[in-house]
Every structure is written in structure tokens, then in C-alpha cells.
Structure 1
Amino acid sequence: MEFLFWSLVAIIATGVVWKGSGLLESASERLSAWYNLPEIVQGAIVVAVGSSFPELSTVVISTLVHGEFELGVAAIVGSALFNIMVIPAVCGLVSQKQLRANRDLVYKEAQFYMIAVAVLTLTFAFAAIYNPVNNGGPAILGEMTRWLVLMPLALYALYVFVQYQDTMDHTGTVDTRGIRPGKEWLKMALSLLIIVAGVEGLVRAAINFGDILGTPSFLWGITVVAAGTSIPDAFVSVRAARNDRGVASIANVLGSNTFDLLVCIPVGVLVAGTAVVNFSVAAPMMAVLTFATVALFLMMRTHMMLTRVESVVLLGLYVFFVVWICLETFAVVDWVPTLPPPDSG
């Protein structure tokens, strides 16, 4: 009964996140039109940051309220994998035409996102090298400090600057006479409060799933919480794809992941002061994320489009990842020896 109760909580919390994200998406799009932002900047910055607020809330709440930084990191990495494999695949399948990209998307957004993955991996490595934590076991642990996470935050500042340059020569063609910016900012603030409430429900459900089934919170963070917090990105991108706006749909995914990796995880450390990261687990997860990113990049680069066959391949890769994580957690396979095992007690 307890498991069913927390399953219901997770479903309701996901619905709350979806509702808040719908308000956030609407306000973000109207504010983007009001401030005369080009489509790719709207997708990669404004809508992406807005739809990533659930992930940011997850890290802050899990770290500050529940003392579960690892759950927050797992949710971010799981969300990034969901975004990079599932959302483009679904967009490619529901789009009435082939999901098209362009050179800005492939050579700027995708490649900058690859750099983001590399920089966060380096940040984890520096924590393990310069601030090692001795736990008496085989796991390689490192303490992330506020000074250390300034590196990914500085890279995101550079990303925002590059995007700002794209707005300089843009001329808007959208009628903004019906937009009231003050009202849209209030709607955005309300949506953020709704999202925080939903994320708190997801985090509590993940922690209780772990306690009930004797499994680490890592498993539920990288699957249930990650998928739940990715709902906003999914709806934003799918809607854009159905309206034949393939560039905006993929730009939202890449921009959202860039924000998740370079801002959400560092903010958790800034809030907590310090946080211990298990590099023995983080490194394989980042390797999987790198592989998925390269796969999407190559698929988009071929003829500047994502075909339906390639979309099915991406979905297959994500299913394989989830099955692998479950098998690792229950010690059926041991490719990542230091992954937290099930609670034997």
C-alpha cells in the first residue's frame, strides 16, 4: 500500500510540474516575443532555462532539504539523457515532416553542449584529484567546493554572451501589441512556485521508493525523477516539432541540457557549501551522456535532419540505458562496481 501511495504521489507531482511548466512556457514565449529574441535564442536560453527549472529545483531541494546531493546529480544526468535521446526521438516521430536542423544548431548549439559535458566531467575529476575523500572503500570520492563550480558557471556565462550576440542583428516580425510584460512576469513567478511544489513531491517519492524497496535513491533519481522533471522540455519540443519548427524543438533540448549541467549542479553546491561526488559512478554516467550526445550530433549532421529510423534508434538506446542501470542496481551485472547496491538490510 505504501508503494502505491508514493506512486500516486509521483504521478500527481508530475502533473503539477506539467501544469506549472505550461504556464512557464507560455510566459517565456510571450516575453521572448516582447523582447524581440530570435527563434534559436528563444529556444536555447529563455524557454530552455524556464523548462529546466524543475531540474534546478530538484538539485536545490534534494541537497538543502533532504541532504541528498547524489539524488540531485542523478536526476540531472538522467534528465540530460532523457532530453538528448527520448525528446528528439519523439519529436522526429510526431513531426509531420522530417525534423530539420540547420548549421547554427549543429555547429554552435550541439558542439557547445559537447563542451559543457566535457567541462562538467573535468569539474568532477578535479574534485576527486584535489579534494579527495577517503571512505575506506573502492569508490573514488571528491569534494566539490564553491570555488570549483565557478568553472562551469563561467562557461555558461560565455554561452549566454554568445547567444546575446545573435540578438544584435535580429529584427522581430511578431505582433506584440497584445502582450503585457508585467502580467507575463507575474505568470512566470506563479509557475515557478507550482513547479517547486511538484518537484518536492517527486523527490519525496524517489526517497521513499528507495526506502521501501531497499534500493539507492540514485536509481530513482536517474529514472523516475529525471523523466518527471523532463516533462516540460518534452511538451515544449514536441509542440514545436508538430508546428514544423524543428530548430526550436532541438535548440530547447540542447539549451536545457547545457543549463542543467553548467548551472543546476553548481547551484546545488553553492547552496550546500560543499558536496561529495562519487567520481567512480559519475565518470561512466558522463561517458554514456557523451556517447548519446555524439550519436545525436551525427544523426543531425547527416543531411541536416533527424529521420524516423534514427528516432527509433535513439529510443532504443535510452531503453538499453534504463535496463542497464536497473541490472547494475540489483547486481545482475557489474560494469560499474561502485554503483550503490541494493540495501541488504
Structure 2
Amino acid sequence: MVLGGVLPDTTLVNVLVVLVTTGFIWIGSGLLEDSAEQLSAYYGLPAVVQGSIVVAIGSSFPELASVVFTALGETFDMGVGAIVGSAIFNILVIPALAGIAADGELETNRAIVYKEAQFYMIAVSALVVTLALAVIYVPAANGPELAGTLTRPLAMIPLLLYGLYLFIQWQDVGDHDAPDAPSSISAGREWGRLAISLLIILVAVEQLVGSVESLSTTFGIPEFLAGVTIVAAATSLPDTLVSVRAARDGRGLTSLGNVLGSNTFDLLVAIPIGVLIVGTATFDFAVAVPMLGVLTLATVLLFSFLRTDLELTSVESYVLLIAYALFVSWVVAETVGLTNLIKGA
């Protein structure tokens, strides 16, 4: 239902709503970035922690909202698709655009490569294990052969792992010798701006998800694949904006920390939060795992590039973009029936 029934539920209107809400997500992300940077400076957070926690959680709010709304609307496959698709977009496209936008090579360090990237790989594995446990111990009564049901106890597994991630980051903050907070920053005002930005993003994502659901029904696009492409790209706008601006300003650590921290939050928090809210959520393991396999390959590719000389070159950035183009081409081929590698789609 578009805008609560105010507008007609037609293809043209839904396309326009997708475009307009994407613009509002972009506006909200700009406010979010500014307030998050000011709060990080006020509290004296290291660049890596700023990118992987403060900015990452804020810019991941669209993905969290999409999971909650799809779970409430009983289209959880679209929500999971949005998370996985957004993660693939974040891993391949955002570092590539940041590397191209940077003045010279996009520099990284060992903390990004050996802490953030490797912990993110653990996050991917933890999600796969959680989904597998759901299929083994809580199979869906009615549905595909490999359909499982995520329950609240199972959702706690990735959430507990994210708690470990926060503990590690907290230790880094304790070891960081931060400069004095600028006197011009008002913490109360910045927290208010942050809340307004999240509200804008929340409303925009709610309308975006509803329009994408209508479009996927109209054109016969499976919910998971619609989430992987349309919803994923739109909800990744805040991450894109934050990382590209940070790279352009010479803050490569914040840029890459945002990408990896955002993906870690999406996998370990966004999906479990949706399950905790609605109680249970059914998914098709045969659809989810191939996409998670692609995400694993994309992560290995980015990890390899970041480790070589601890920088991301322009050539490597374009390779990442080509890899994402190949992924989108495969998704389109699956949708129109040219390939049939995703058995549950």
C-alpha cells in the first residue's frame, strides 16, 4: 500500500516511490554522517572504531529497518536478500568507489586487514552456521525441502558474537590516546541530529520496501532476488556516501572501517533483531546459501587486495566493480530463467 493508500498502487507510482525514497535515504545519510563524525570527535574515538561502530551502525539502519518491515510483512526472504545483497554491494562497490575517489591509493593498515576483515569473515561463517542449525533443528512444516525457521534462541548466537566484537572495539578505545574534544561540539545537539536522520531513513525504507514488494509481485521477481538487487542497492546508499566522502577527505581507515563494520552489523545484528521482534522467521536455505557463497568469494577478493601493500589501487578498484557487474548479470540470468543455480528461487 503506497503511502497508506493515498497514492494508487500502480507500477509507475511504485517506481517513483522507489526513486523518491532513495533520495530521502541519501539525505538522511548525509545528516547521519555529519552527526556521527561530530560525536566521534567529541568522545575521542579512534578512526577505525569511528568507522566500524558509530558510522557503521548508523549507516546500517536502512538494512535493519528493511529486515524488520519484511519480517512483519511475512516477506522475510526479501529482508535476508536485502542484507546479503547489501553486504555484497558494500564489499565490492563501495571500496571500489572509495578507491577511485581517493587522492592516490586508498591506504589501509593491519588493524583493518587482520581485525576488521577477518572478524567479518567469522561473521559470515556464524550466519551460515545459524541458518544451518535452523534447518536441522527447526525445519519449516510447510515449504521447500530446505526451509528452516529462525527462532529467538538461535538469533542469540550471532548477537552474542557481535557482543564480542563490541568488547574488542571497546578495548581499542581504552588504548587510544585521544585529543581533547573540540569545545564547539554540542553532544546534545548532535544526538538530536542523529535521531532525526534515523527517523528520515526509517520512514523512507518503510515505503521503499512496500513499493519493491508490489513491483516484485507485478513482474514475478522472487522476493529474495528483489531484496538482493533493488532493496540492497537503495539501503546501501548511506554506506556509499559515508565511505566515498571519507576516502575523498583522505580518511581511508574510516572509509574501509565503515564498510566492514556495517557488514558485520548487518549479518550479526540486523537479521537477528528482525527475528527477535516477530518471534520466528522462515527462510529457504537453498536460496540463502548460494548468495552467502558469493559474499564469501567477494570478501576473499577484497581481503586479498587490501593485504597487498596495505592499499587499494585504482586497478583493483575497477576489478571489484567488474566483479559486481558479473554478480548482477548472474542475478538477472537467474530471474529470467537463463540459469538455475539457485534451486529455491
TM-score by length of 2: 0.95
Question: Does 2:194 correspond to 1:188?
Answer: yes
Partner of 1:343: none
Partner of 1:169: 175
Partner of 2:129: 122
Q: Deviations over 1:316-343 (max 9, x none)?
A: 111111111111122111112221xxxx
Partner of 1:110: 117
Partner of 1:260: 266
| Counterpart residue identity of residue 30, structure 1 | Q
Q: Is the 8 A contact 2:57 2:265 kept in 1?
A: yes
Cα deviation, residue 155, structure 1: 0.4
Question: Does 2:31 correspond to 1:23?
Answer: yes
Q: Once structures 1 and 2 are overlaid, which stretch shifts more, 210-219 or 186-195?
A: 210-219
Could you tell me how far apart the structure 2 residues matched to 1:77 and 1:190 are?
Answer: 27
Could you tell me how far apart the structure 2 residues matched to 1:161 and 1:136 are?
Answer: 39
Unaligned runs of 5+ in 2: 1-8
Question: Does 2:88 correspond to 1:77?
Answer: no
The 3-state SS of whatever aligns with 2:175 is: coil
Cα deviation, residue 149, structure 1: 0.9
Q: Report % sequence identity.
A: 53
1:268-287 equivalences under 5 Å are 268-287=274-293
The 3-state SS of whatever aligns with 1:277 is: strand
Q: Is the 8 A contact 2:216 2:223 kept in 1?
A: yes
Partner of 1:209: 215
Question: Does 2:77 correspond to 1:67?
Answer: no
| Counterpart residue identity of residue 52, structure 1 | S
Cα deviation, residue 214, structure 1: 2.0
Q: Deviations over 1:267-296 (max 9, x none)?
A: 010011001121111111111100000110
Partner of 2:106: 99
Cα deviation, residue 15, structure 1: 0.7
Q: Deviations over 1:92-128 (max 9, x none)?
A: 1111110111000000000000000000000000001
The 3-state SS of whatever aligns with 1:207 is: helix
1:217-236 equivalences under 5 Å are 217-236=223-242
1:247-326 equivalences under 5 Å are 247-326=253-332
Question: Does 2:93 correspond to 1:86?
Answer: yes
The 3-state SS of whatever aligns with 2:283 is: strand
Cα deviation, residue 134, structure 1: 4.1
When residues 197 and 136 of structure 1 are mapped into structure 2, their CA distance, relative to the original with a 3 A threshold, is closer
Could you tell me how far apart the structure 2 residues matched to 1:207 and 1:217 are?
Answer: 7
Question: Does 2:49 correspond to 1:41?
Answer: yes
Q: Is the 8 A contact 1:110 1:254 kept in 2?
A: yes
Length, aligned pairs only: 337
TM-score by length of 1: 0.95
What stretches of structure 1 move > 4 A for 4+ residues in a row? Answer: none
Cα deviation, residue 69, structure 1: 0.9
Partner of 1:342: none
| Counterpart residue identity of residue 76, structure 2 | F
Unaligned runs of 5+ in 1: 340-345
Could you tell me how far apart the structure 2 residues matched to 1:91 and 1:192 are?
Answer: 24
Q: Is the 8 A contact 1:92 1:307 kept in 2?
A: yes
Q: Is the 8 A contact 1:97 1:244 kept in 2?
A: no
The 3-state SS of whatever aligns with 1:133 is: coil
Q: Deviations over 1:6-27 (max 9, x none)?
A: 1111010011111111111111
Could you tell me how far apart the structure 2 residues matched to 1:132 and 1:254 are?
Answer: 31
Partner of 2:3: none
Cα deviation, residue 4, structure 1: 2.3
Cα deviation, residue 3, structure 1: 2.1
Partner of 1:5: 13
Cα deviation, residue 221, structure 1: 1.1
Q: Deviations over 1:187-241 (max 9, x none)?
A: 1111111111110121012101112212222222111110111000001000111
Cα deviation, residue 185, structure 1: 1.1
Could you tell me how far apart the structure 2 residues matched to 1:173 and 1:28 are?
Answer: 17
Could you tell me how far apart the structure 1 residues matched to 2:143 and 2:248 are?
Answer: 53
